[in-house]
Structure 1
Amino acid sequence: MKWLRTAASLVGCLFATLAGTAAVAETGVTDTSILLGMSSPFSGPNGAYGQEMRETISAYFDQVNKAGGVGGRKLELVALDDGYETDRAVANTRALIDDKKVFALLGFYGSSPTTAAMEVFSAAKVPLIGTISGADSLRTPVNRYMFNVRASYAQETEAIVTQLVSLGLTNIAVFYQNDGFGKSGLDGVIAALKKHKLTPSAVGTVERNSVDVSKAVQAISKVGAQAVVMVTLYKPTAEFVRQMRKIDQNPQFMTLSPVGADLLVQELGNDARGIGISQVMPYPWNEATPVVREYQRLMGKQQAKYSYYGIEAYITAKLLVETLRKQGKDLTREKLVTTLESLGNYDLGGYRVGFSPNDHGGSRYVDLTVIGSGGRVLR
C-alpha cells in the first residue's frame, strides 16, 4: 500500500506542476522572449508611414533588449505589410495571432483596416496597443482589447475649426478620403461647425489609395472657400493643393495628423508652405520634452530622421514595454489589459495617457502647427 501512496503522491505532484505551468504559460511568451505583432503599410502609396513606425519600434526594441529586455526576456517584432488595405490587415491579424502566435499587437495603421481587424483580435482576446487612427469606431463603445494612444479625429477637427472661426473664416469646405478615416474626419468637421451654427460650404472626396482629385477640386473651387479642411493622406493632399493653386484658388489649407508633415513636404516642396496641420503627439524637435529627448537619442542626431510618426511609434512602444514591466514575470494578455486600465493619468515623459475600464481613449492632446519656409514644421 505504501507504494500506491507514493505513486499517487508523485502523480499529484506531476499534475500540480503541469497546472502551475499552464497557469503561467501564455501564447507568445517563453522564458527568453516576448513575441509582438504589427500590421501596417510598408509598400504602396502609403508605405512610408508604416516604414517610419517599424524603424522606430525595431530600434527601441533593440535598445531594450541590449539593456536586458523585459524581465530577462527579449522583445521580438513580427511586422506584416498590409498596404493600407482592409482585407490584408484582417488577414495579417489572423496570421499574427493564429500562425505567428504573438502575445500582443501594436502599431497598426488606418481606421478602416483597424476597425475590421478589431473583430479578429477582440474575439481572440489579444490586445492591440496603438493605431494611427482617431476614428470613433475604435473608441465607442469601448472594446476591452483596443487601446488608443492618440486623440480622436473629433478632437482634432474641433481644434482646427475653432482656430479657423476665431480668425473670422466661415466659408469652410471639406475634402475627405472615402473610407473610415475620411468619413470620421468629415463627421468631426460637421459637428465642430455646427457648434458655430455653420455647415460645410462644399464637400469633395477622393478614393483611398488614389490621387484622382479633379471632381473634388471642381466642387470646392465653385464656392471660393476661405478654408479647406483636408481629411486625406499626403499624396491626395498634395495633388489637391497643386490643382487648386493651378486655378488660383488659395484658401487656408488645413489637414489632420495622419497626413505626415515630413512626407507632405517631400511631396509638395515649397508649395507646402502655409498648410496647417493638427498634431496629436509632442513636437518631435523639442528637446525640452523628456520623451522627445529619448526618441531623438534613439534615432541619432540626424534631424531628418525625426517625425511625428516616429515619435508616435516610440511612445506606443514605450507604453507597451512599461506596462509589460509592471506585470512582473507572470505575463498574460488579461493582466496586460487590466494593467493598462489601471494606469490612470500616466506620464510617459511629458506626454500623458490614461485608461480605465470605461475609457480606452488614451489622450486628448491636440496641437496646431503650420509648414513654414524650407519645409520646417512650426508651432
Structure 2
Amino acid sequence: MNRKHLRLTAALGASLVLTLTGCSTKAAPESDSGSGGSGGVKTGPGVSDTAIKVGVITDLTGPAAPLAKPSMQASQLYVDQVNAAGGVCGRKVELLVRDHGFDVQKAVAAYAEVQPQVAALGSLLGSAQTSALLDSIERDKLVTMVGGNSASSLGHEHVQVMSTTYDLDMINGVDWLVKTNGLKSGDKVGLIHQPGEYGENAAEGVRFAAKKAGLELVVQTVKPTDTDMTAQVTALGAQKVKAVVFAGTPGQTASLVGVAAAGGLKVPVLAHAAAYVPQLLATPAKPALERMLYVVGGVPALSGDAPALKQLVADYGKKYPKEQLNVGVQVGTTNSAVLVEALRAACAAKDLSREGITKGLRSLKSFDKGMGSVLDFSDPAKSPNRKSYVLRPAEGLPGGLKTVQNATEVPAVAEYLAARH
C-alpha cells in the first residue's frame, strides 16, 4: 500500500472518529403522572390517549452518523410496523428524534428539551453523552436505552446497556484469538485503545484475558482524533507482536490494518465491533482487512441464517433502498423491540407511568427477537448478554461481515466478573 493510499485511508478516519468526553447537566423537573387514558391505565409524561412518545438522541450529522443513522432508521421502521399492527396499549408509538452531532453539550441540551415530552428514551448514543446524563436520567426515572456498552453504565435502574459490555466482548475475543492462532504463554500481543470509557473498558477485558493466557501486552494508545496509525504500528512491529487487539474507530481500523500489512506486520487484528463499518471495504485497505481483520461483539452478522435477520435485511432494504446495511440496523431494531415489549408489559400492569415502564423493562428476563442471543434485562447491574460473536469482513454480504464463531461465553468471563465483585 503506497503513501497516497494511506492518506486516503486516513481521510476516512477523520469522518468516522468517535470522541469520548464528559460534562454535567442541570436537574430536570420531576415528571408528574396521572390516571387518565383508555382502559384505566395509569399514565405519565409522553403518554396520551392516542400516543406514546419516545425520544431518540443520536448522531445524524457527526462522526458516528455511519452507524447512528441506520440505527435510527431501523428504529423508525420497527415502530412503523408496530403501529401498523395496532400500536401498543391502543396507542401509536411516536419517535421524537434529536441530533447531537456526537457533541456532549448538544446531547445535554437535547435531553433538557425532550425529557418532559417523552415516556422513555429509545436511544441515547455515546458513552460520554450517557455519562454526562446519568444523574438526570435516574432523577427523572426515564428508561433509557444507551448506545454504548461500557460497563460504567451498569447499575443504574433506569439506564439499560443493550448488549455484551466491551470488557466481556474482549475476554471472549482474546480467548478465541489465542486458541485459533496458536498463541502461547510468553508471546507478545499488541493492545491499541483509545482513552475514555469505551477504550478503557475494552482494555480492562484484554488485560484480564492476556494475563490468564500468559501473554505479554505491548500497549499503545490512540487519540480519538488520530487517523494515521503508523506510529503505533511501528512500535508494535519493533516488539514483534504476534497479534493485535484494537478498540478504536472504523477509520483507525482501516489505517491500522493497512499500515501493518504494508509494513510487513501481517498478524491477526482483533477489533471491537464498534471499530468496523462495511464502508471500510471501499478503501485501499480492503485486501488487508479481508486477510487480517476479525471483529468481536455481541451482535451477529446481518448475513446470518436466522429468519429474523433475513426478514430485517429485506424490510430495511425495501424501506431504505439507497442505504448501506451495518450493525446499526440490528441495534436500532433491538432497541425498539425491547422498549415496545417493556411498554406492553407496563400496559398489562395498567401502569404507563415512567416507574411502570421501568418495571416492564425489568420483567423481561428472556427477551428473544430471533436475531441473536437471548437477553436478560431483569438486573440493571448485569450485562444483558455475556456471549460474543467473532466475525470477519466479507464484501457483498449484508453488513459486510460473515460469521467465524457463533455467540460464545468463555469460562474466563465468569472468573472476571467474580473477581470484580
| TM-score normalised per structure 2 | 0.77
Shift of 1:294: 3.8
Corresponding residue for residue 322 of structure 1 = 341
Q: Does 1:259 align with 2:281?
A: no
Q: Report what 1:97 is aligned to.
A: 115
Match status 1:158 vs 2:171:
yes
SS at match of 1:354: coil
Deviation at 1:75, TM superposition (A): 1.4
Matched residue of 2:383: which SS?
Answer: strand
Residue in 1 that maps onto 2:352? 331
- Provide the C-alpha distance between the structure 2 equivalents of 1:46 and 1:270, rounded to a whole number of angstroms: 24
Which position in structure 1 is the counterpart of 2:17?
none
Which residue is 2:367 aligned to? 346
For 1:19 and 1:321, how far apart are their aligned partners in 2? 21
Please give the root-mean-square deviation of Cα atoms over the aligned residues, in Å. Answer: 2.5
Q: Where in structure 2 are the equivalents of 1:63-142 lying within 5 Å?
A: 63-98=81-116, 101-129=117-145, 131-139=146-154, 142=155
* Residue 58 (1) aligns with residue 76 (2): yes
Aligned to 2:389: 367
Is the aligned partner of 1:179 residue 2:196? yes
- Given candidates 219, 224, 234, the residue that maps to 1:208 is 224
Please say if residues 273 and 371 of structure 1, whose CA atoms lie closer than 8 Å, have aligned partners that are also in contact. Answer: yes
2:249 to 212, 226, 233: 233
Which residue does the alignment assign to 1:377?
Answer: 401
User: Equivalents in 2 of 1:280, 1:173: separation in Å?
Assistant: 22
> Counterpart in 1 of 2:210?
193
- Per the TM alignment, residue 343 of structure 1 is displaced from its structure 2 partner at its CA by 1.9
Is the contact made by 2:351 and 2:357 (CA closer than 8 Å) also made in structure 1? no
- Find the counterpart in structure 2 of residue 14 from structure 1: none
In structure 2, relative to structure 1, the CA distance for the partners of 1:86 and 1:203 (3 Å cut) is: farther
C-alpha contact (below 8 Å) 2:190/2:244 kept by paired residues: yes
CA distance in 2, matches of 1:367, 1:136: 18
Change (3 A) 1:95 1:214: farther
Q: How far apart, in 2, do the equivalents of 1:223 and 1:36 lie? A: 51
Local SS of the residue matching 2:359: helix
- Deviations along 1:232-284, one digit per CA (max 9) or x if unpaired, are 11012112222223322222111011123423324443332131001311332
Q: What's the CA shift string for 1:25-71, capped at 9, x where partnerless? A: 31011111111111222123322111111111111112222222212
Quick check: 1:46 aligned with 2:60? no
Q: Per-residue displacement from partner, 1:302-347 (whole Å, max 9, x unpaired)?
A: 6974332211211111111122122225411111111221222232
Superposition deviation, residue 155 in structure 1: 1.5
Secondary structure in structure 1 of the residue aligned to 2:287: helix
Relative to structure 1, the CA distance from residue 102 to residue 256 in structure 2 (aligned partners, 3 Å threshold; closer, same or farther) is same
Partner deviation per Cα, 1:191-228 (whole Å, 9 max, x = no partner): 1111112331x222222244143432332232122111
Residues 295-310 of structure 1 correspond to what in structure 2 (within 5 A)? 295-300=312-317, 305-310=324-329
Letter in 1 for 2:275: V
Number of aligned positions between the proteins: 355
Assess if the C-alpha contact under 8 Å between 1:256 and 1:279 holds in 2.
Answer: yes
Change (3 A) 1:63 1:358: closer
Helix, strand or coil: the match of 1:30? coil
Find the residue that maps to 1:191 and give its secondary structure.
Answer: helix
Structure 2: tracts of 5 or more residues without a match: 1-32, 404-421
Deviates more, 1:81-90 or 1:276-285: 81-90
Q: 1:357 to 1:45 in 2, by over 3 A?
A: closer
In structure 2, how many angstroms separate the alpha carbons of the residues matched to 1:43 and 1:220? 34
- Deviates further, 299-308 or 276-285: 299-308
Residues 67, 277 of structure 2: 8 Å contact kept: no
Gaps of 5+ in 1: 1-17
Indicate if the aligned counterparts of 1:53 and 1:107 stay in contact, CA closer than 8 A. Answer: no
Bigger Rg, which one: 1
CA distance in 2, matches of 1:19, 1:71: 16
Which residue does the alignment assign to 1:146? 159
Compared CA separation, residues 146 and 93, structure 1 to 2 (3 A): same
**Counterpart of 1:327 in structure 2: which amino acid?**
A
Cα 1:214–1:81 shift into 2, 3 Å: farther
Quick one: distance in 1 between partners of 2:192 and 2:118?
A: 38
Q: From the superposition, tell whether residues 49 and 121 of structure 1 become closer, same or farther in structure 2 (CA, over 3 Å).
A: same
**Distance change (3 Å), C-alpha of 1:128 and 1:51:** same
CA distance in structure 2 between the aligned counterparts of 1:303 and 1:363, rounded to whole angstroms: 32
Question: In the alignment, is residue 168 of structure 1 matched against residue 200 of structure 2?
Answer: no
TM-score, normalised to structure 1, is 0.86
Partner SS state of residue 375, structure 2: strand
